Structures are given as structure tokens and as C-alpha cells.
Amino acid sequence: MKAAAMENAQSKVERRTFQRVRIKIYGRFMLEDRSEHPCQVIDMSPGNVSLRCEAVGEPGEKVIAYLDHIGRVEGVLTRRLPDGFAMTVIASERKKDKLAAQLTWLANKHELDLPEDRRHERVAPRNPMSVLQLMDGRQYQCRIIDLSLSGAAIEIDAKPALGVQVILGTMRGQVVRHFEEGVAIEFAVVQRPETLEAEFNQNAS
């Protein structure tokens, strides 16, 4: 009895060590009806994950997600959120240990990327006028204040919420900061200089 109580206490401690980390990764998930939908991870631990998305299934529904840098994750939808849902992760202890290592690496990589992100030279494009599109199809004219390989600052009347997925021109990304004149966008992937040149540095017609 005492051994069982100790084992139970130990398992609770182990569960507590699975801390949720906030990471910015994208992916897709499939519901039981086999429909696929895009998503973004809000936060994740080896045992749970919260996803931001437009399509939401029913509590108790099985979900299979394919997440950038992590791969396939299976689980069960536990609750709906205002902008998505939370699910428990169904995996072996070995898989959860691997997930913990991946999440630690991603969280540290994000922290390390912040100063690197600032080192990406910011330039003002020759043709600063562009269009910001939200995932629901709404589009807003905007002016690019400056941009780098990893993001852009844009002047815009609308203020999409932090974390919202957007498309600037053809570049997928998300809103990471608000300021008085507009918002800052972080691209989903670091761009190549020639891609930015082709997208934003064409001479205005």
C-alpha cells in the first residue's frame, strides 16, 4: 500500500515536470471525419497541446496532428478554446521523453533566435505598398515600414490580435507585436534574400 502511494506521488511529480512551453510552430490536423485543417501550436507539453485553428471537433474525438519540427502527434480533444482546442497526447513514455527533448530544443532555439532575428538587416523596400490577408479571407492595404529575412513592420489601420496567422504578400507569418502605427509580423520561415527581392523590391508600376 505504501509502495503504491509512493509510486502515485512519484507519477504526480513526473506529470508536473511536463511543463507547457509556448512555441510558434504550424501544422495540420485530421479529425475523425478525415477532414484536414491548418493549425498553429499555442503551447505544448509532452502530455497536452493547445492548437489555434478555425475548425474544431467534438470533445472526446480522436485527433491526428502533423506539426512542423515535431511530426505526427495523436491524441483526444479534451476541450474547446475561444480560438481552437486543447487535446491530450496519447503516446508511450519513450515517445513523451522524445517530445520533451524536442520541446526543450524548440523553446531554447526560439530564445536563441531572438537576438539573431534582430541581427537580420532591416531594409525599407523600394515598393512598400502591400496587402495583409487574414486566414478568414479579409484583406487590408498596408505599407511596409521595414523588413528583414525573418519579418516585417507594417503600417496598417487594422490591428489583428497577437498570434494571428496572416499572409503579407505571399509570405505566411503571424502577428508578434503591436505599435502605434501598425503591427510587426514574424515570417513562418526565415526567407531567402532573393525571395524578398522578388516579392517586395519590384519597382512600383
| Cα–Cα dist 92/21, whole Å | 20
Predicted confidence (pLDDT) at residue 167 exceeds the cutoff of 50 = yes
Best CA proximity match to 133, nearest among 162, 172, 83: 172
Of the CA atoms within 13 Å of residue 23, those in its CB half-sphere come to: 25
| Cα–Cα dist 130/154, whole Å | 9
pLDDT, tens digit (0-9, with 9 covering 90-100), for 128-160: 899 999 988 899 999 998 888 888 989 999 888
pLDDT at position 46 is 92
Tell me how far CA of residue 51 lies from CA of 83, 112, 185, in angstroms: 8, 24, 20
Cβ contact 91:107 at 8 Å = no
pLDDT, tens digit (0-9, with 9 covering 90-100), for 4-61: 444 443 344 334 346 788 887 888 899 999 998 999 898 999 999 999 998 899 999 9
Quote the pTM value.
0.49
pLDDT, tens digit (0-9, with 9 covering 90-100), for 107-124: 766 544 444 344 456 777
pLDDT, tens digit (0-9, with 9 covering 90-100), for 39-51: 989 899 999 999 9
Q: In a 3-state reduction of DSSP, which class is residue 187?
A: strand
Cβ contact 17:45 at 8 Å = no
Cβ contact 2:45 at 8 Å = no
Best CA proximity match to 140, nearest among 108, 115, 118, 164: 164
